[in-house]
């Protein structure tokens, strides 16, 4: 399973919209456009597909921590 699949499954499981994911990434100080985000959710054989690197997934997970627990519970290492 690649990071793109993990991100897709989290989006479905948490019932997140594209704007929700963009906002979560902003909490972790990561800016992404809606078109860049949609490229992460495309099929691998699509010409506009972008691989979800570890940094993007890590920032998303860190943003989820901040969103759900607050900044005071997040400790970056």
- Number of domains the chain contains: 1
pLDDT digits (tens, 9 = 90+) for 32-77: 999 999 999 999 999 999 999 999 999 999 999 999 988 776 666 5
Q: What is the value of pTM for the model shown?
A: 0.88
pLDDT of residue 72: 72
- What number of CA atoms fall less than 13 Å from residue 76's CA on the CB side? 10
Residue 2 confidence (pLDDT) above 60: yes
Domain that holds residue 60: 3-73
- The CA–CA distances, whole Å, from 73 to 28, 46, 67 equal 13, 39, 10
pLDDT digits (tens, 9 = 90+) for 22-37: 999 999 999 999 999 9
């Amino acid at each position: 399973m690649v990071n793109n699949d993990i991100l897709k499954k989290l989006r479905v499981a948490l019932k997140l919209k594209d704007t929700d994911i963009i906002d979560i990434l902003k909490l972790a100080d990561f800016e992404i456009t809606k078109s860049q985000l949609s490229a992460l959710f495309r099929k691998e054989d699509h010409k506009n597909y972008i691989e979800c690197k570890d940094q993007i997934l890590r920032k998303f997970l860190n943003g989820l921590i901040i969103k759900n627990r607050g900044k005071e519970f997040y400790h970056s290492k």
